[in-house]
Structure formats: structure tokens, C-alpha cells
Structure 1
Amino acid sequence: MDGKFITVGIVFAILWSSAATATKIALESAQPLVIAVTRFLLAGSLMLLITHIFLGNRKPTAKEWKQLAIYGLFNVSLYLGIYVIAMQFLGAGIGSLAIAVNPVFISILAAIFFRYRITGSAIFSLFACSAGVLIAAWPLLQNSTAQPIGIVLLLSSMLIYSIAAIYYTRQQWNGLDSLTINGWHTLMGGLFLLPVAAAGFDPAKNKLDTDFWTGTLWLTFPVSIGAVQAWLYLLKKNTVAASYWLYACPVFGFLLAFIFLQEPLTWFTLTGILLVTGGLYVSQKTKKLT
């Protein structure tokens, strides 16, 4: 892969992995779906303002509206809605760790339904990255107080995320700008969640203080806009190769959780980083799977 693909992959991994830490900070002051809906409505509205008013990009067509609604339902409402609920019961490190499950799901789904060929190099990368993530996570898993319901919800959200990624790459977008896709699918996802959030809203559980706005605004701009734009670029280039960048997310996630939440960072983490980096390097040498 070219240098731009690698650079965008690194930026994506750092920004996407920061979501778990930002979510834990925001959860100190608000209900999960309040955070999610605020994030999605703000991010979606801003992206649409930029893409249609300032950049003059075209609006979606009739067929594309349906695609955006489906993508928004899976990639925003279900995936991120369930994810933020799951994070009530888990540490930020484990939240980042679960992101590494996605390449497995994406590769398996692509092979089963769309006949992608998985090469020997890709299989090696899969095992190397998996081993790195498990080694880096070991101290956290020993010291964490993860609840079973959180694990179930988290893995469910990851499966939905993988389905959304496959769905996105199989649609014909006819040159629709990625910022337009991101803006509309994010706004739609937030609107789908709004009735659920309103039904469960409890004023006593929402302080809307500095922690809320710090975490939510970080999720809104660097994550929902920056990281998702990077992800859409990676998906367009190569769906399966893009999925390997998800393996780097737990590594950065551990570092951010250590800095901001004082979660453990040990020699296990360093060993995991080396294995993940090696696995990612090999994965970039594989041919594009089509």
C-alpha cells in the first residue's frame, strides 16, 4: 500500500481508539444515549453544513437516501448506541481491545458472502495481531472488573460494525462525496436513536458539566468526523486491508487509558505493540483482495 494509506491508517487508529477513553469521561456526567445523540446530531449537522453550503457538494439521490438510512442504522444507531451502553460496564482498555475483533468478523463475512480470498500473509497477520492484542491486554484483563453484560453488548456492537463496513463497500455511491455520506448517515443514526434516548431520559443523571462536554465534543469532532472520514477512505481503497488498522486501535487505546484514566501500562503492552506493528506491516504487503 502507498504512504498515504499508511498515514491515514495511523491517524484513524489513534482517533478511533480515543473513543473509549472519551466515552468513559463523558459517562461520569450523563446517560449513554444522551451522549450518543448529542454527538451524532452535532457531528452530522456540522458535516452537512460544510459539504452542502461551503463545498457545494450534491445531495443524495433517491436510491442513495435508502442506502444512507440503512448504513446510519447499522453503523451509528445500533453499533455506537450499543457500544456506549456497554461502556458503562467496562474499562476503556477493554473497550479498545474489542475493536480488534472486527478484522476477524470482516474477513470471515467477506470470505463467506463475497468470496474474498484470504492469503497466507493475511492469515499470518491475523494471528500476529491477535497475539499482540491479547498479550497487551493481559494485565488489564486481570485487574479489570468487566461485567458479563458489558462483554456481550460490546461484542454484539463489534459484529454490527463489521456488517456495516461490508454493506458500505458493496453499495454504489456514484461519486457521492465521503463527507456527505458521513454527515447524512451520522445525522440519520442520531435521529433514529433520539426517541429511545428521550424515553429513558432522567434529568438527575445528566449534569452536562465539563466532563460531559469534554468527552462528547471529542467524540463529535475528532472521532465522528476525523476518524470516520479516515475510515471511509481506507474502506474505499481496500476493505480487508483497512480492517487490519483496527488492530492498532487497542494499542493506542491502552496508551490513552493509561494517560487519562490511569489504567495499567506494562511490558506486556510493549510486547503487544511490537507484535501488532509487525502484523500490520505484513498485512500491507498483501495483495488487494477482490
Structure 2
Amino acid sequence: MKYKNGTGILFSFLWATAAIAMKIGILSVDPLILAIIRFLISGLIMIIISTFLLKEKISKKNDWYQISILGLLNITIYLGCLFTAIMTISAGLLNLFIAINPILITLFTSYFLKRKISTNEKLGFSICFIGLLIATIPTLKESKSNFFGICLLILGMTSYSLGSVYYKKNELKLSNLTINGYQTFIGGLFLLPIAYYYKSQTILYDTNFYVSLVWLTVVISIFANNIWFSLLKKDTVKASKWLFLAPIFGYFLSFVLLGEEITIYAYLGIVLVLLGLKINK
């Protein structure tokens, strides 16, 4: 049990660092260009490892189809939206919005996988959602650009939640590394036309760029994503609950590393998210 909890906490912490790395990276490169470089490199690394070390290849057409759907949902739409939203949204708020994923995953699991939602889950998720709304109040008051960013976040979170349920429903008979590698690479390819159309900044090859790229590629795309797939295989809803912890780590890291303010609304939102998580335990 301790091992499972430790794995979940590690995933939550690493997932929260992604927004910080993205904020640092966009100081030197267009967000979608950074996203594509990250996806193609990390996807290629995982594909090479799975092909030559694990000796695993995708031969079934249906597997290609399902992995392409995962790439579209988990990479192209989800991370494409997040990388675009980070231009107008704080890293702390982005991490807080990750808390919407467990709610959506539970709802989608109930509908697509016919999983019954318990009373505690309903109550806990409702409290978490209220906390999320309270924490966004200051941002909603700031500007229309932030409202657009929030809309992108909602779209991205919905896509990621659907991708998680789709993964559990189909249960591909392939290793996590192979699935993650191909979905990441394919998702990056899907994003190429959009990134090319909206490209507005040249790459500045400095410390910010390299630190962000290495962290997002190795730690997030390869390591954290594979932890997520292993959690999903055991129980989709239980795995999703670890996403509630990401905002807690996210606000702390944003304050320490980026100097972002933690408002009273954020504090209240965090308390409610923790309360909702406790009820769901």
C-alpha cells in the first residue's frame, strides 16, 4: 500500500513540475514549437528502446488505430491546448485545473465503462469542483485572454480524461513504453500543421530552452507518463485521484520557482481540493 501511495505521490509531484518547465521554456521558444520538439524526441527515444531492447513491434492495424486515437486525445489536443494556454495562464492555475480530470474521468468511466459512482466520490468530487471554481475567481476578473486560456484548459482536460478512459476500455496488449512512445510521436506529428501556422517566435538556444526541453522530454513525457499508464492499468478512477494532489505541489512550486502569488482564493481552493480528496479516500 505504501508503495502504491509513494508511486501516486511521485507522479503528482512530477506532473505538477510540467507547468513550471513550460513557463520557463516559452521564454525562449514558441510554446507549440517547444511541444513538438519535446514530443518527437521523447517519442522517438521510447520507440527505439521498445523496438531494440524490448523487441516489441506494432503489427495489428487495430493497434495502430487505437494508439493514433490516444495520440490525438492525450498529446495533440490535451497538451496542444495546455502549451497554448500557458501563455496567458499562470502555472499555478494550470496545475489547479488538473484537478478537473478526476471528475471527468469518473463521469466518463461511469458512462463508457458502466462503473458505479459511490456517494463519497460524488460528494468529494463536488467539493473539489467548488474549490476549483473559487480558485479561478481572480483570473476570471483579469482579462479576456485569461478567459480564453481557461477555455483551452477545459478542452484539454476533457480530451485527456477521454483518452484515459479510452486507454482503459481497450486495454492494448503492448507495454506502457511502446504505447507511450508511439502515441507521443504520432501526437506530435498531428500537431505539426497547427504549430507551423501559428509560429510567431524564433528559438533562443539558451539555458531556459535546454532545461525546459530536457525536463519535459525525459522526466514528464517518458518517466511520468509511463507511471500514469501503470496506474491506469490498475484502476482508472483510483489513478485519477492522484491528479488532485498536483495543484498542491503546483502552487508551491510556482511560488518558490516562479514567484507567482498565491491568493486567498487559491488557498481556499487548495483546502477544498484536499478535503474532497480525503472524502474520496
Q: Say whether the fold is shared (TM-score over 0.5).
A: yes
Which amino acid letter does the alignment assign opposite residue 114 of structure 2?
A: R
TM-score, structure 1 length as denominator?
Answer: 0.87
Among residues 178, 181, 184, which one is paired with 2:182 in the alignment?
Answer: 184
Counterparts of 1:216-227 in structure 2, within 5 Å, are 216-227=213-224
Displacement after TM superposition at 1:268 (Å): 6.5
The Cα offsets for residues 218-251 of structure 1, whole Å up to 9 and x where unpaired, read as: 1111111121111111111111111111111111
Deviates more, 1:260-269 or 1:114-123: 260-269
Contact 2:139 2:146 in 1 (8 A): no
The Cα offsets for residues 178-223 of structure 1, whole Å up to 9 and x where unpaired, read as: 1111111111111121233234434x53223221221222111111
Query: Is 1:126 matched up with 2:149?
Result: no
Which amino acid letter does the alignment assign opposite residue 234 of structure 1?
A: L
Displacement after TM superposition at 1:129 (Å): 3.4
Unaligned runs of 5+ in 1: 285-290
- Residue in 1 aligned with 2:155? 156
Displacement after TM superposition at 1:3 (Å): 2.6
Displacement after TM superposition at 1:4 (Å): 2.7
The Cα offsets for residues 78-114 of structure 1, whole Å up to 9 and x where unpaired, read as: 1111210111111111111111111121112222233
Structure 2 counterpart SS, 1:147: helix
Displacement after TM superposition at 1:10 (Å): 0.6
Among residues 209, 214, 233, which one is paired with 2:211 in the alignment?
Answer: 214
Among residues 59, 73, 82, which one is paired with 1:61 in the alignment?
Answer: 59
Query: Is 1:93 matched up with 2:96?
Result: no
- Residue in 2 aligned with 1:256? 253
- Residue in 2 aligned with 1:31? 30
Structure-2 separation of matches of 1:115 and 1:152: 28
Which amino acid letter does the alignment assign opposite residue 214 of structure 1?
A: V
- Residue in 1 aligned with 2:171? 172
Query: Is 1:243 matched up with 2:240?
Result: yes
Contact 1:140 1:264 in 2 (8 A): no
Residue 195 and residue 281 in structure 1: after superposition, are their counterparts in 2 closer, same or farther (change >3 A)?
A: same
- Residue in 1 aligned with 2:105? 106
- The size of the alignment, in residue pairs, is 279
TM-score, structure 2 length as denominator?
Answer: 0.89
Displacement after TM superposition at 1:121 (Å): 2.0
Structure 2 counterpart SS, 1:88: coil
- Residue in 2 aligned with 1:193? 191
- Residue in 2 aligned with 1:5? 4
